[in-house]
Amino acid sequence: MTNSVNEASKTEIEQANTRSRIALPDGAAVPRIGQGTWNIGEDASRRSEEVEALRLGVGLGMNLIDTAEMYGEGRSETLVGEAMQGIRDKVFLVSKVYPHNAGLKRIVKSCEDSLNRLRTDCLDLYLLHWRGSVPLEETVEGMERLVQQGKIARWGVSNFDTDDMEELFRLARGTHCVTNQVLYHLGSRGIEFDLLPWQRERQMPLMAYSPLAQAGALRKGLVQNEAVREIAAAHGASPLQVLLAWCIREGDVIAIPKAASREHVLQNAAAALIDLSEEELRLLDKAFPEPVRKMPLDII
């Protein structure tokens, strides 16, 4: 294989993404890098490009696709449904329910609406998008009913901090939760103080959204950092690929960067080829130190 990440073949990229999978608590295997769909499906002129990008990502081993009923008020799910035509059996499909729809009176209808938009009869994973006013016990009951009805295979949560997870796990069936999806990237490491260790103790993988940070000053500061740029050059990669490789470095974090174009999909997928050395990780720790105290959970 070439030493340059961005000169690797599609076959090499696919192999890198398929040989190293992450096991959920129930044994289901998912890729370290998946595909996020926030803001996808909202521009009709880009529809064909976005559908093609998602399908390419699946072919490159990034077969986890994450969406939500909130994204474009269903437009993202509709586009994902189109992209999955003919390849549904290859996709690990994730969607999320609004907090106000997570009670027993609404969760079944909300899930069914998502399934209709996605043109499928079962979600591989259904997440509570964030915590709202509905009691956790009621949401857990709703999730368990959906599993029993065959509408979802498993469930999890999103934007839960450590105290939320502890409360969830005190419920009789709260331990059936298989993952927690939160914001996590090199410039936002607060979860490493308590939440990430808490999940690791329970062998629960974490899903990281916005692993490349949102476009703006923060991302600019990350990609222009001297250590990040030096490491990228050493691997024949881009700074963004280094950020993604850092996020999945421990083998128990599932990163879901947005995938909206062929170029971005190829770059995201190729990040799986980067194996950061101990010295490179030390350089990144020095530039962006790990937390030394409890930090508020970052949420977008």
Query: What confidence score (pLDDT) does residue 1 get?
Result: 44
Report the DSSP pairing between strands 125-128 and 92-97: parallel
Please say whether the beta carbons of 22 and 61 come within 8 A.
no
Please say whether the beta carbons of 268 and 57 come within 8 A.
yes
126 catalytic per annotation: no
Angle at 246 between CA 5 and CA 61, to 5 degrees: 55
Q: Which residues of the chain have pLDDT under 70?
A: 1-3
Query: What confidence score (pLDDT) does residue 128 get?
Result: 98
Domains and their CATH numbers in the chain: 31-213+249-274 (3.20.20.100)
Q: Please list the residues that pair with 291 across neighbouring strands.
A: none
What backbone phi and psi angles, to 5 degrees, belong to 124? Answer: -75, -30
Annotated binding-site residues for substrate read 129
Sheet order of strands, 35-36 included: 35-36, 64-66, 92-97, 125-128, 155-158, 180-183, 206-209, 253-256
Query: What confidence score (pLDDT) does residue 56 get?
Result: 98
Angle at 212 between CA 207 and CA 217, to 5 degrees: 135
Which residue is listed with tokens 């998912």?
30
Of the candidates 19, 7, 56, the residue with the CA atom closest to the CA atom of residue 35: 56
Query: What confidence score (pLDDT) does residue 215 get?
Result: 83
Determine the Cα–Cα distance for residues 149 and 254; give it in Å rounded to an integer.
27
* 175 residue type, one letter: T
Determine the Cα–Cα distance for residues 34 and 225; give it in Å rounded to an integer.
25
Q: Which of 71, 126, 184, 209 is catalytic?
A: 71
